[in-house]
Structure 1
Amino acid sequence: MTTEDATVTAGDIARLAGVGRAAVSNWRRRFGDFPAPVGGTASSPLFSLSEVETWLRAQGKLQELPGDELLWQQVRNSADDLQLLSLVSRLAAAIAHRKLGTLLQGEDAEIAGALPELVTDESDVPLIRATAELAAERGPQEAVEFLYTRYTQAHSRRVQVISPDIARLMAAFVEPRATQVFDPSCGHGGLLIAAGGEPGKVRTVGQERDAAAARLAGARLAVRGIPADVRTGDALTRDAFPHLQADAVLCSPPFSERGWGYEELANDPRWQYGLPPRGESELAWVQHCLAHARPGGQVVVLMPPAAANRRSGRRVRSQLIRAGALRAVVALPSGAAPQSTMPPHLWLLRRPVAGDRAPSHVLMMDATGSPETVIPMWSSFEEDPHRETAGGGRTVPVIDLLDDEIDLTPARYLTRSVVSPGGVGRTREELLRATAELTRLLPSAAESPHGPFSMTSLGELARAGSLQILQTPVRMETGSGELRLLTAADVVLGQEPTGRGKEEPGLVIARPGDIVVPVASRVPAARVIDEEVALGPNLTVVRPDPDFFDPHFVAGFLKVSARQPSASASGASRLDVRRAPLPRLSLAEQRRYGEVFRQLERFEGALRRANEAGELLGRIVLDGLTNGDLQPDPRL
């Protein structure tokens, strides 16, 4: 695709000019000669890259289009959203394996013949040349990381990436003498990169379900000089390393998968601590990791907090404790797990050595305030499990854990909250920022002199062809698969897609500008989609024509319709979208309403953040004053 054909979003334009997205919105309103959209939707328009570049230069806002931005726009316009990772991973692999450098001086036909996995015809060659030039200019590692970073930014709502801080924390538990580290669900390679350390010292091994993600992980490791063997496949059902015994295993597994292979794997020899319940896929991953650690080897697994106390998993947790496999549980800050908004845990385990006496204590640690404090606590515990720990930790006798509940939640055993250094000040500043944001985001609305609206229904508009109404299947095979799905719960909670599925008949792909509504929900919800995403079951999609409707305007009135009393015995409101009323307003008037609806959403989000920060500050101060970590301000 040529530069003249390439399109960019408002966010891309902001990066080109080095400004915020608000500045781009202001330019569109203030300057009549700003390039008109050439595609996309009213809420997510696309602009011609060549026209934008010309306009920015004429305004003195861009002297020269950066080479990396030009390359990224070529990449974005060479593949649709669902194929973007495949293209990025193939380009990264070509860089990592030094396939591009020798081709810079070659003819187009020579390049096309040398890279059949990237080039379908000679029109693809400019993208290959641009990628080779970036790699030659910046070096392979920086070029690969640029492609990876831009992909994750472009799909921030779809891509689950473990934060570098948590990856480094998990890798810090690996003993210095370890020479082989394994991650059976390695994603884009974040944990293996963190564990790789000094190039050539540690050999990394990984497995990943998605072939494109596995390819990208291998490329990211290769350009760092980290020896790696990354293979494709589901580690639970298609183990690519059945005989591997690593010094350490790090893993951030998928959470809450029901289709992890319960029936197929019922008699699997890996379940030495008990058959994992159907709804406890995380306990299957824990045992898979233990099976691939050498005797005495370490295992560090990121776990959802519910795995510590679900009734269904009591037997497996009990056996992990009795055998001496579970050594410590660490409570992490909120947001540490990419697939969960709840504060996750780290489980630290060791594969038992035959004949060794089982440990008598398990270490419980709180890292919600200062994660860096847990490494010294762990080292001290390893030296002497009976020694009392300082700070946010406590050694708990095994006998105290083996009650009826087998609850491994650290907060249950930490007798008092520990105020981390600067914790009060940080939380107070967070509360002040959130309350200031509330004032700024107060919705702007005035009394209307016009009286009731003239209404129509979405069903009538659908019959007139002004919008489409689509329904996702009532039942879908979910819980496993390489395709990420936006679920009804995700829509209600405003979170990233957490479902897993496969491409199957009836699958609905939401486009930017679509409105997605749960068929039944206790909480009214209607979400405007801003990037392409596959949808799970029991969702309705309203796809308005952008020439007639503002999607945020439609979504605001759908939320009100979803509040109507329900006849459902479960208490969930069932919304018949076709009966939902909508005012007859001009597009300009709709956009005014839509902007206020968006402002209201931001205000409600800030209100939740302020409430959370206020409650946290109250708990910290109360606990600190009563346990001696804090004292009244001397100025009082």
Structure 2
Amino acid sequence: MGHDATLNAGDIARLADVGRAAVSNWRRRYDDFPQPVGGTAASPLFSLPEIEEWLRRNGKSYEMSLGDRVWQRLRASGDDLRLGDLVGCAGAFLLYLSRDPGGWRRVTRGPELAKGLHQTATAATSDLPVPVDWDLIDTRLYRLIADLAAEQGPLAAFELLCERYVEAHSRQLAVTRPDVAELMARLARFELDPAGGVRTVLDPSCGVGALLLPFSGARVLGQEAGDTGALLTAVRLLLRDPDARVVAGDALRLDGFPGARADVVVCDPPFNERAWGYEELTGDPRWEYGLPPRGESELAWVQHCLAHARPGGLVAILMPAASASRRPGKRIRGNLLRAGALRAVITLSAGGPDLWLLRRPEAGERPPSLVLMVDADGGVPAAEAAWRAFAADPEAEPPGAAHAVRIIDLLDDEVDLSPARHRPHPGDEHADLGFGGVRDRFLASVASLPRALPAIGVLTGARDLPSASVGELVRAGLVTVHQGPARMATDAGDLPVLTAADLVSGGRPSGRTTPDPGHVVLEPGDVVATTTATDGAARTLAEGGAVLGPQLHLYRVDPERMDPDFLAGYLRYAGTAGTNRSHPGASRVDARRVRIPRVSLSEQRAYGRAFRELLALEDGLRETTALGETLVRLGFDGLAGGRLRPEA
């Protein structure tokens, strides 16, 4: 490579302490911005010396941290195809430093650093899954890495390098989302021991170790097909806990832990692999529930994981959404259900992947009669709440978009386990009223709709009113803004939580959490809005006492200068119209940019009343629609089942 070090746009943004958008803006606005020296059109690389010179020339301050200097030198030590090997070598060196700091000091006094590392570091890191080529890194870079370890500690230093590596190879590496990895760990701990005790954990397709990191304190076993991933995972685990073992190799063809049984098996396997070993593994004893079809490699991983779970042990595995319904896999899905091995299928986001929770049956136990289906519109917290409720009492209806389905009802010609197919019918909360009761409710709701229409006049031309952004209103003291936490456990405790789903539906706070000084307590008259452009909900609260949940913003107005319903109406419009997003295609609304007309307080109140009446009409339409759908379903069920008859 013709340059000492290169940077991508993210590296430049960190160097100059700006956002990535600012770097893109510089490239467009400044003709003298350095040209790429490598990479691709989608992810160009720039020369570090040229970028530093350009920043100095344009008066833009920057600071290269020691971690960034190490990363840039590491990246410049070879081409991107060997970047993983370079990071692995750096990680092995950091593991050596953590285990034998005295040995490192002795090596630095020797005449040949590389030779000394081969002798001492190899012995100190003999439990790594693959041999380390210590010649990949030069003496100067080893010393920089040692300085970084002294500054941040070996573990933090290596996590920084792993983070940069994953970012640089984001298109090639499939890394499990951190919140999903944490969810899988929490669900496993809760199922096996509410106190959180798990003795042994296995991940047979561990990638760079994302699913194993949350299980601190347990004996951790990992296997990864690629040498690089196995090495990175081993270093990440061993820097945290010596009771870890990682092997390299394809777990389906060459099981690295034959006969091992774990309390928990977690897995995010490769999807849609046809060359997984179908021919040579046809008679494998792991296929207890049926030979996986050639095109269903994921069902091979499911059975491999179950084979490594102890009786009563849990398997948490991510699966493509299609695995729940593809016809070739229906026999295995049916056998998993009949044996009571499959306990839940959870859709975490539209399009998948789905999370399958399985339990290896114990000898002689009676198979369960129900399986949990969760279409988790509320994301990770909703999935966790549904599983905890189902595990505590399978017969009770779980919260949210979850449903306990009878296994016998699934054993049809399709054995379709797609959660969306088994969602409760809209409005089923009224189904216990029977056809007559629901009909009366529906007619009353329809009759009330005309009265709910607000008095709104039609103008011949659009009004052009002066306006101010929400950010300007905040600076003027008319509005105070609070943001909900990024994450919050909403399934335990006594303190009510207003969730995004509650706000959209107009329901009462459904979450529960424990008190915390950081919680934002809601007050009557507060305006609460969702932060996502897809929901577009905003309401003025009539009651207080609950706390603000994730993905929500609170706007507390000065009632002597601003009407809350007026503000809520414009925030609602900004979300549903898709305007004021942080950038085109973004899923979040930038509330600071929402424009609010500057009109008198009396006119604000008139607009606010109209907005409030429109919102009430929307809630009434939603209720009427739900009642109508329930009425139609009960009508078909009753006529076809002989409980209703047509009247003359």
Task: Give the TM-score category using the shorter length.
Answer: 0.5 to 0.7
Matched-pair contact (CA < 8 Å) for 2:15–2:63: no
What are the residue-to-residue correspondences of 1:346-425 with 2, within 5 Å? Answer: 346-416=355-425, 420-423=501-504
CA distance 1:104–1:49, shift in 2 (3 Å): farther
* CA distance in 2: counterparts of 1:323 and 1:32, whole angstroms: 67
Aligned twin of 2:116: 114
Q: Are residue 182 (structure 1) and residue 191 (structure 2) matched? A: no
* CA distance in 1: counterparts of 2:296 and 2:18, whole angstroms: 46
Matched-pair contact (CA < 8 Å) for 1:90–1:216: no
CA distance 1:251–1:621, shift in 2 (3 Å): farther
* CA distance in 2: counterparts of 1:209 and 1:43, whole angstroms: 28
Shift, 1:290, TM fit:
0.5
Aligned twin of 2:328: 312
Aligned twin of 1:202: 218
* CA distance in 2: counterparts of 1:104 and 1:52, whole angstroms: 35
Q: How many residues align?
A: 444
CA distance 1:218–1:50, shift in 2 (3 Å): same
Q: Are residue 170 (structure 1) and residue 190 (structure 2) matched? A: no
CA distance 1:426–1:624, shift in 2 (3 Å): farther
Q: Are residue 218 (structure 1) and residue 227 (structure 2) matched? A: no
* CA distance in 2: counterparts of 1:84 and 1:279, whole angstroms: 32
Please state whether the residue corresponding to 1:182 is helix, strand or coil. Answer: strand
Please state whether the residue corresponding to 2:286 is helix, strand or coil. Answer: coil
Matched-pair contact (CA < 8 Å) for 2:110–2:116: no
Match among 267, 286, 305 for residue 251 of structure 1: 267
Please state whether the residue corresponding to 2:202 is helix, strand or coil. Answer: strand
CA distance 1:237–1:143, shift in 2 (3 Å): same
Please state whether the residue corresponding to 1:120 is helix, strand or coil. Answer: helix
Matched-pair contact (CA < 8 Å) for 2:88–2:231: yes
Please state whether the residue corresponding to 1:263 is helix, strand or coil. Answer: coil
CA distance 1:14–1:64, shift in 2 (3 Å): closer
Match among 253, 258, 269 for residue 237 of structure 1: 253
Please state whether the residue corresponding to 1:173 is helix, strand or coil. Answer: helix
Q: Deviations over 1:531-585 (max 9, x none)?
A: xxxxxxxxxxxxxxxxxxxxxxxxxxxxxxxxxxxxxxxxxxxxxxxxxxxxxxx
Shift, 1:287, TM fit:
0.5
Aligned twin of 2:484: none
Matched-pair contact (CA < 8 Å) for 2:89–2:134: no
Matched-pair contact (CA < 8 Å) for 1:53–1:65: no
Matched-pair contact (CA < 8 Å) for 1:104–1:133: no
Identity, % of aligned pairs? 50
Matched-pair contact (CA < 8 Å) for 1:53–1:62: no
Q: Deviations over 1:380-415 (max 9, x none)?
A: 323332222232222222211111111111122221
* CA distance in 2: counterparts of 1:42 and 1:317, whole angstroms: 44
Shift, 1:8, TM fit:
2.9
CA distance 1:213–1:407, shift in 2 (3 Å): same
Larger radius of gyration: 2
Matched-pair contact (CA < 8 Å) for 1:417–1:623: no
CA distance 1:417–1:426, shift in 2 (3 Å): farther
Please state whether the residue corresponding to 1:149 is helix, strand or coil. Answer: helix
**Unmatched 5+ residue regions in structure 1?**
335-341, 442-602, 610-618, 629-636
Please state whether the residue corresponding to 1:115 is helix, strand or coil. Answer: helix
Counterpart residue type for residue 421 of structure 2: R
Q: Deviations over 1:433-487 (max 9, x none)?
A: 696579998xxxxxxxxxxxxxxxxxxxxxxxxxxxxxxxxxxxxxxxxxxxxxx
Matched-pair contact (CA < 8 Å) for 1:417–1:620: no
Match among 123, 126, 141 for residue 140 of structure 2: 126
CA distance 1:623–1:75, shift in 2 (3 Å): farther
Matched-pair contact (CA < 8 Å) for 1:101–1:136: no
Matched-pair contact (CA < 8 Å) for 1:214–1:232: yes
Match among 129, 138, 159 for residue 173 of structure 2: 159
Normalised by the size of structure 1, how large is the TM-score?
0.63
What are the residue-to-residue correspondences of 1:51-130 with 2, within 5 Å? Answer: 51-57=50-56, 59-62=58-61, 64-98=63-97, 101-102=101-102, 103=104, 106-107=108-109, 109-116=111-118, 117-120=132-135, 124-130=138-144
Shift, 1:626, TM fit:
3.4
CA distance 1:304–1:34, shift in 2 (3 Å): closer
CA distance 1:399–1:621, shift in 2 (3 Å): farther
Shift, 1:305, TM fit:
1.1
* CA distance in 1: counterparts of 2:412 and 2:61, whole angstroms: 67
Matched-pair contact (CA < 8 Å) for 1:308–1:407: yes
* CA distance in 1: counterparts of 2:341 and 2:620, whole angstroms: 37
Q: Are residue 429 (structure 1) and residue 533 (structure 2) matched? A: yes
Q: Are residue 330 (structure 1) and residue 350 (structure 2) matched? A: no
CA distance 1:241–1:380, shift in 2 (3 Å): same
Please state whether the residue corresponding to 2:212 is helix, strand or coil. Answer: helix
CA distance 1:48–1:420, shift in 2 (3 Å): closer
Please state whether the residue corresponding to 1:73 is helix, strand or coil. Answer: helix
Please state whether the residue corresponding to 1:126 is helix, strand or coil. Answer: helix
Q: Deviations over 1:302-327 (max 9, x none)?
A: 11111111110111011111111111
Shift, 1:118, TM fit:
4.7
CA distance 1:388–1:23, shift in 2 (3 Å): closer
Please state whether the residue corresponding to 1:190 is helix, strand or coil. Answer: coil
* CA distance in 1: counterparts of 2:270 and 2:171, whole angstroms: 16
Counterpart residue type for residue 533 of structure 2: E
Matched-pair contact (CA < 8 Å) for 1:330–1:346: yes
Please state whether the residue corresponding to 2:135 is helix, strand or coil. Answer: coil
Please state whether the residue corresponding to 2:501 is helix, strand or coil. Answer: coil
Please state whether the residue corresponding to 2:97 is helix, strand or coil. Answer: coil
Matched-pair contact (CA < 8 Å) for 1:302–1:344: yes
Counterpart residue type for residue 111 of structure 1: L
Shift, 1:429, TM fit:
3.0
Shift, 1:89, TM fit:
1.6
* CA distance in 2: counterparts of 1:362 and 1:307, whole angstroms: 16
